[in-house]
Every structure is written in C-alpha cells, then in structure tokens.
Amino acid sequence: MSVRSLSAEAVHSPVVSAAAEAYDLTAGRVGSVAAALLGVAAVAIGVLALRARDGASPTRARTALGLGLAGAAAGAVLAATADGGPGSGSGIVGSVVAVLVGLGGAALGWRALARTRRAR
C-alpha cells in the first residue's frame, strides 16, 4: 500500500468526521437551547417581578411563571425524545439544563405572584 492511499483513507475515516460533527448545530441542540432561553427569560423576569418595591407586578409574575413552565415542559419533551446520550447531538444535556432553569424561573414567578396577592 502506498502512502497516498493511507492518507486518503485517514482523511475519510469516520473518526475524523465524528470529531467535526461535535460542533454542528443539530435540531436537538437548537431545541434545547431555545427551551433553555425560555427558562433564562423566566428567571430574569421573575427577578424583576420580585424586585418591584410596591409588589404590584402580577403581569411580570405571570409571565415568569408561564415562560418557566413552558421552558421546563419543552426541555422535558426534548429529553424524553432524545435518541442518544451526552455528546451525540440530540440535545440531552441542554434539555436537562432547560428543565432546571425553567423550574427555577417558574418558582420565582410563583413566589412573585404570591407576593402580589399578599400585597393586595
């Protein structure tokens, strides 16, 4: 076998192409990032609702609660339908992060909503 044929086989080996696919944006990764962004938005809005001095921001509290639950639900669905494990491109790690951040945002929204009801 010549050196040229060996180098051509090395270029087309699955190991080289699998390493390049680790940074590709797959549908699972995009979905889990979108779900995590919903959760991050819920956390941000929940913090703003809790920091309101008069306690009268039920719209922000409801928004944080809704976005948090939506992010957690989307993350749970994506985690349940993921084909592979971590590093496979199915978005399983991002889905778990989305569930955790979404639940945190929902908890902040729930707390802010309880505070607005108590203030009335």
Q: 51-101 pLDDT, tens per residue?
A: 887 766 788 899 999 999 999 999 999 999 888 778 777 788 889 999 999
Per-residue pLDDT of 8-24, as tens digits, reads 555 555 544 443 366 77
Rg (CA), the chain: 22
Q: Residue 72: which of 28, 39, 112 has the closest Cα?
A: 39
Q: How many other C-beta atoms lie within 10 A of the C-beta of residue 35?
A: 28
- Residue type at 57? S
pTM for the model stands at 0.76
